[in-house]
Structure 1
């Protein structure tokens, strides 16, 4: 849960004394071995003010890998966890270029910051006074007000929301009616405006029949979010989209593209599509775009004789019927001592299996364990960057 910041803490951290204290404590290393000592030093330096200062220094260091402009920002632990990564926030903000936008759950301002760079005008609101004070620090010059997301206080024609998905104890909420604010109430209140709602990528999309377009976004191999778009923010003719971002590059695929692909045995390559593609239900569309085929129509692994450029793909060495005994024999024959195990469609725990295989040898490989129909199949591969 982290330290429970108060409005007084935020006021101190924004003061000249607080800024000086943050700089002084930031000079401490806070490594695993020095943390207890460094906390003690901070306590001696700052007395009762040490806790919010230490927490802020540590949160800023964590934020560096997620947010571009975190050096002078203020956070709470849970707000940082839910904050949108800067690259994803910029991607989402691009649909609001030139619009008047209201971020009705602005929290500490991560999305508001991205919106402020492209929107004609934007306003942020939240119920939490501490997070609002942090947002005013993080996004200076933008209007930030205290308001309930379910009681509109602006006339903006575009609204964005990121409902809280954890309770007061930090436990994750899985049911959209338990989100704060609830998903259906958001969609009802803002049915007359263009709405974007950020959700966890694991959400059951059937609970949002009002969404005109559902976009899954991955960043550097991890699926980060689902965004539910309505009305003028949605793309005509598209109901599902996957956007894949790696560093400064990105690509997208939608259900508006062809999805005709064959089902056939393994070819020269196995391709494991990005998680955003899989979660968006666009595996066949991805296969059709790249001339690939499915191993089984219900399994997300694809195969082909030419791998798409710029991905981590798996060159096929051997494949056949899977049993643990046959796999162990194959790995022993090939001298595989380091093995990556990928599984879909079979009830196999890779870590447990790896221990039982008793690997030894100088080489490394990847094995794909899946099924074709009801038949368990193993495909031994060499991972390569195409």
Structure 2
């Protein structure tokens, strides 16, 4: 069970004595009895919050920039947006007065405060609010922070940012507005006429949010991190995919772009679009931008003779009807021993298939299994990382207005 912080804990951790305790215990591991004993000897009754903070700061480094001196709860860190994602969302609200009505420990609030004309953060949890004050101070920003219920507005004429928690959905695979805390419909109704930005899970059925003008899917380093529901920005689009990288490169794609592409036989390369593009329903738009086409109109794999810059693409070495025996023979002929298997549109377990194929050669290959029409097809490929010079030069910027 994660440690439950109190206001007294936060006050101690922010004090000179607390900072010294954190420094003394920074090398200890709270999962080892010997280290817990050592922490108790060093800091007495404060051992538990100190060790929990040390552990959470270690985890936060993978997610949040400059978080070495921040304070967290376990749940708050888990729900917090990664810094590049929070920074991107803030950039779309640059120059506006913004109120983060579920600010938690301040991961989004800090980034908003850097670009907004003014920033407010509020939450119902007093412990997280004290942590947000601390984290904002460490980050060198000064938002107004106060305790308030997100369903009872305490600001006027601000853009509203919210990250409602997801309740236990009792095993349901489909989210409902009432599964959020605060409930999604009530949250939206509380801020009529305001610009609204609501973070949610990327797998959500967005039809439960008919009020949203735009749905944006955001990925970071190839992993889809979140969706954001936007209202009132007048962006002129309804679906957007934003692809971010930790090195600062980024690009965006919207449904305002053309999507008229052919469906025809495979070219020299196969391309698996970024997950944000797929979940935003922009596969055809992505293909049109890069001169690609579809193998099958129901399958997200794309193909062409020139892959987009900055992606991992698959050079086609062989194409054959998918049968285990025939595929095994093709891999043996190519002396394949290290095998990656990608599947779309077929009920195939890649790990189970790899065990059956038992590749023993010296070469490395990627097999892409998919369906063209009703026919299962196997592509034997060589994965290659395409140079990214054009990626950064041609696709870096994302307009804050849309």
Shorter chain as normaliser: what TM range?
A: over 0.9
**Paired residue secondary structure (1:139):** helix
Q: 1:176-209, CA deviations, whole angstroms, 9 ceiling, x for partnerless residues?
A: 3211011111122112111000111111111111
Other-structure match for 2:125 = 128
Instruction: Verify the 8 A CA contact 2:167 2:179 in the aligned structure 1.
Output: no
* Higher mean C-alpha deviation, range 139-148 or range 200-209: 139-148
Higher relative contact order (CA 8 A, sep 6+): 2
- 1:210 matched to which residue of 2? 211
1:70 positional shift = 0.5
Deviations 1:217-237 (A, max 9, x none): 101000111111111x2412x
| Residue 42 (structure 1) aligns with | 39
Q: Residue by residue, what CA displacement relative to the aligned partner does 1:254-275 show, whole Å, maximum 9, x if unpaired?
A: 0000001111121100000000
Runs of 4+ in 1 over 4 A off after TM superposition: 166-169
1:184 aligned partner: 185
1:144 to partner: Cα distance = 1.1
Is 1:119 the equivalent of 2:120? no
Q: Aligned ranges for residues 213-252 of structure 1 at < 5 Å?
A: 213-231=214-232, 233-236=233-236, 238-246=237-245, 247-252=247-252
Give the distance between the partners of 1:76 and 1:173, measured in 2 at CA.
28
Query: What 5-or-longer segments of structure 1 have no aligned partner?
Result: none
Deviations along 1:307-341, one digit per CA (max 9) or x if unpaired, are 11111000000011001111122112222111111
Question: How many angstroms does 1:349 deviate by?
Answer: 1.1
Work out whether residues 7 and 133 of structure 1, in 8 Å CA contact, stay in contact via their aligned partners in 2.
yes
- What is aligned with 2:392? none
**What is the alpha-carbon distance in structure 1 between the residues aligned to residue 115 and residue 287 of structure 2?**
35
CA distance in 1, matches of 2:38, 2:223: 38
CA distance in 1: counterparts of 2:327 and 2:305, whole angstroms: 24
Offset at 1:359?
1.7
Deviates more, 1:160-169 or 1:111-120: 160-169
Task: Find 2:83's aligned residue among 81, 86, 108.
Answer: 86
Measured on the aligned residues, the alpha-carbon RMSD in Å equals 1.8
Superposed CA deviations along residues 331-379 of structure 1, whole A, max 9, x for unmatched, are: 1222211111100000111111111211211111000000001100000
Contact residue 167 and residue 173 of structure 1 kept, 8 A: no
CA distance in 1, matches of 2:175, 2:355: 34
Please give the TM-score of this superposition, normalised by the length of structure 1. 0.95
Q: Could you say which residue in structure 1 is the equivalent of 2:154? A: 153
- Aligned-partner Cα distance in 2 for 1:36–1:89: 37
d(CA) in 1 for partners of 2:279 and 2:222? 13
**SS at structure 1 position matched to 2:202:** coil
Structure 1 173/122 Cα, relative in aligned 2: closer, same or farther at 3 Å? farther
The 3 A distance-change label for structure 1 pair 21 and 166 is farther
Measured after TM superposition, the shift of residue 48 of structure 1 is 2.1
Q: Which residue of 2 aligns with 1:27?
A: 27
Residue 121 of structure 2 contacts residue 145 of structure 2 at CA under 8 Å; is this kept in 1? Answer: yes
Report the equivalent of 2:262. 262
Whether the 8 Å contact between 1:173 and 1:179 is mirrored in structure 2 is: no
The CA distance in 2 between the partners of 1:122 and 1:76, in whole Å, is 23
Q: Aligned residues, how many? A: 380
Contact kept in structure 1, 2:169 and 2:179, CA below 8 Å: no
**Equivalent position SS for 2:44:** helix
Mapped to 2, the partners of 1:244 and 1:39 lie a distance apart of 42
Match of 2:136 among 139, 155, 180: 139
1:354 paired residue number = 354
Asked whether the 8 Å contact 2:341–2:368 carries over to 1, the reply is yes
Q: For structure 2, which runs of at least 5 residues remain unmatched after alignment?
A: 387-402
- Between the aligned partners of 2:379 and 2:33, the Cα distance in structure 1 is 49
